[in-house]
Amino acid sequence: MRIVVLVSGSGSNLQAVIDAVASGSLPVEIAAVGADRPGTFGIERAAAAGLDTFVVNFKDHAARTDWDAALLEAVAAYKPDYVVSSGFMRIVAPGFIDAFEGRYVNTHPALLPSFPGAHGVRDAMAYGVKVTGCTVHFADAGVDTGPIIAQTPVAILPGDTEDILHERIKVAERELLIKVLGDLAAA
Ligand code: GAR
């Protein structure tokens, strides 16, 4: 199973996938790692692992549709079986979803459909829920929407800050993402 992983930030979930592949516990080939902006640590991690990388810089494209087309072309060139949005903070165009229908997997640090968006951890804390978690799902053209594949609950504890809670969620998120990718590879 060939995957392309898309990142916008630190790529700690990507690192977990890289490590699982390297250890032989995840039978997946990471064809490439792409980002929507230059200078992400996620791309550095990929390069350090010897993986192909690409950047389709959102800011380099005058029209949104130009960026959409460039992203689709860059990802499709690797002929992935699945595309994984791992902290990729952009909504992709309907054309991208059509091209990878049922093959675009997103991970999110909340129990969807609650708390979608860029601040899922913060929003759950602000609401005052006592249990949040993480979700891996097939993404559609909405904001963190699409059929849910798997979820893990994580309790919010007294004394949690957004960072502390997000780190605890990420521990669960990495395990869940690797499990889902392993299941997809075995299917
Ligand atoms: C992850 O928690 C991921 O679920 C979240 O960004 C983080 C990326 O961390 N994604 C979203 O919030 C999408 N709405 P990482 O770059 O260290 O893997």
Average pLDDT score over residue span 135-151: 95
Residue percentage of the chain with pLDDT more than 70: 100
* Length, in residues, of the chain: 187
Give yes or no: 108 in active site. yes
Of 85, 59, 144, nearest to 110 by C-alpha is 144
Range of the domain at 137: 2-186
Q: Which residues line ligand 1 (CB under 6 A)?
A: 7, 9-14, 42, 86-87, 107-109, 118, 120, 144, 170, 173
Residues ≥6 apart with Cβ < 8 Å to 49: 18, 22, 30
Give the separation between CA 170 and CA 148, rounded to whole angstroms. Answer: 18
CA 135 to centroid of ligand 1, rounded, Å? 11
Mean pLDDT of the chain: 97
Tell me the per-residue pLDDT of 30-60, one tens digit each, with 9 for 90 and over. Answer: 999 999 999 999 999 999 999 999 999 999 9
- Distance set, CA 126 to CA 144, 153, 160 (Å): 19, 17, 12
Residue percentage of the chain with pLDDT more than 90: 99
Largest separation between any pair of C-alpha atoms in the chain: 47
The helix (H) or strand (E) run that includes residue 83 is strand 82-85
Q: Look up residue 139 and give its two tokens.
A: 């993404």
Give the separation between CA 16 and CA 34, rounded to whole angstroms. Answer: 16
The helix (H) or strand (E) run that includes residue 152 is strand 148-155
Report how many domains make up the chain: 1
Give the separation between CA 120 and CA 123, rounded to whole angstroms. Answer: 5
pLDDT at 52: 98
Q: How many CB atoms lie within 10 A of CB 22?
A: 11
Tell me the per-residue pLDDT of 83-137, one tens digit each, with 9 for 90 and over. Answer: 999 999 999 999 999 999 999 999 999 999 999 999 999 999 999 999 999 999 9
- Tell me how far the alpha carbon of residue 101 is from its chain's centroid: 16
Backbone angles phi, psi at 52, to 5 degrees: -65, 140
pLDDT at 141: 87
CA 101 to centroid of ligand 1, rounded, Å? 21
Report the CATH number that the domain containing residue 177 is assigned in CATH.
3.40.50.170
Average pLDDT score over residue span 151-156: 98
The helix (H) or strand (E) run that includes residue 172 is helix 162-186
